[in-house]
Structure 1
């Protein structure tokens, strides 16, 4: 087992933090109380009856007339639904409960909260495994936390370099967390369960392993390790409703972890971080009809993903698929006239698609191991049809000299190579 000791790993000020409390933590509202404790507007929300009626026709149980009240600060009902979804017993006989959960404003709040919880600014560090999601680095920089970079193994596997990660944890000072993305972004590859186990079983390192499973519902059944939060005291598994559930606009992320870590995260969060509409919509999509719609939409996207895997290599100028197919995007090389992956060509194709074809993808060529690569999200059948035609035309124009190669590559890179998404 891990030598994890939360008392020695978390920041002392966070361990001592007294969470914000409101009167409703002590006196639950049963619907009959007169609520004069939180300085809310007793007259109700600024909505006309017509607006409420129109919104209510969605079929989702949202109390629009109750929007003048603060939302539930604890969200235990929503947390239980998320536990029901992830208690698959593929990986353990134990069950996760609401005590294992923190819910945040997307995974980005969770990433930031973990850094504030465990890392002392200007002193502590985290391990990241490039190529990976850019917000780990951005949030670390905001919190004055330094990075230790241990690149993934070469494409096409993009596996975790367990030996080098464990070496860093053994030899580098003040490492508090390891951020691991699975399926990887931009790689689309699943990190092997046994590789993760070896990090968790490090014999001396006292830190937290953060597994980002944002795209896990596009992976094979049973891939999620969320229920492992019942097994490991220092594991945090992040998930989101933004991807497979198609609910990016409500900003709902979840962290499955041990009760002690969950308590610290809940202690430091803003009092009412999850809005009532977000909670209601999230509860709807992870159960019943909402879950059925997610699965049907996922099947459509998987079919289009398979179509793209089959069709893209047939287009002249497209090279190898790099990484895996466990997500709703693919990472493909763009080739120059000599048949080599080329960042200049990839940038030109990126620009041509966006400016001349009305198709926006992501340039990832400057990421470790992703030379000449574009990351392409899987769209609807109609969108994929349009994309396949557009990228064939763009490659022909770029490699045929009809489109000027960017003269100022650094400028183009700055425009194309953002860190989010």
Structure 2
């Protein structure tokens, strides 16, 4: 018996080598032929009657000898289905679209008016697209958003991904959603979800007296340089008129000239503080920035998030170190659903709108009397407004139906249609000093 196994050992190893060689030579190892493949970085989906209009942001690799970074172009295609629209890219350019590097999908306003999964079904079926692909919507055309050249990055898709980053989620600046998370909400019993609303904002806002100071061209304006402008606007770029005169005197060319500086200042930045609510795949409601932050405090883990509390003579900005949300559901008499939302936030002082004396500055742990109580009332009212919007729109973002199914099975079927509408919500917010 041993001799039989010893004779077949060589055959076993030979068979294993053949199998490994087959897998080795049949795998592309993620390599892409850039001459034949369109590397899709982001997709915008708009609708026009019964057609889908796709705007694909495609990366075009540059030669390393030229010393240039990868450039992007936007290709617009149309089809009765999303798959047909992607196929049109191949017909127009000879490139085959590859979605393995696609990290962002934007839904236009017309697309959000109807069931967005008419379009998203294709991406769920595509085995090469990651389920962690970011999903967002906008108030206008997705094509226009993707065509924007932002200040922080030449590629609009990359700039938007920075706005939707995990860090922005931790500080409560945005409520991002991925394709997997949005699909889970849609196919659940509640059939609801949320998406961030991508918007463009001007890089520089006008300040009172800015035109007068710029026209005078005072030395202080020239010395201020880029201190008053956003990051990435270039050094020594003060106001547009001041920098223009300085450029003329120095005779420097390129971006330091008046035309280049003005063009640079015209580039917008992206924001995604507002949140759209979806029911049955259709957009039905919107949360403001403050309401989105309050919902983050209930559902997410906040770290180093700023929260401003106004008062009669001063505004205090608290820095939230951590939050401890807790949600409990119960069914009372007459089958009335009760939802208790409690949030404990550990916070300290970050800044005041007015100057403080030396003792208060050196001991940042002491809070003025009434600041924490005002913050508790403010956030409690914001959470209540979020729940009221969910109730009126039918979006069960707080998971009432899911909790009924898990913990109150005997009431789940009977209260399925009335649980959210007739629910009693009790919100309790408590801020405690970091010290």
TM-score (normalizing by structure 2) = 0.22
Structure with higher Rg: it is 2
The structure with higher relative contact order (CA 8 Å, sep 6+) is 1
Bigger strand fraction: 2
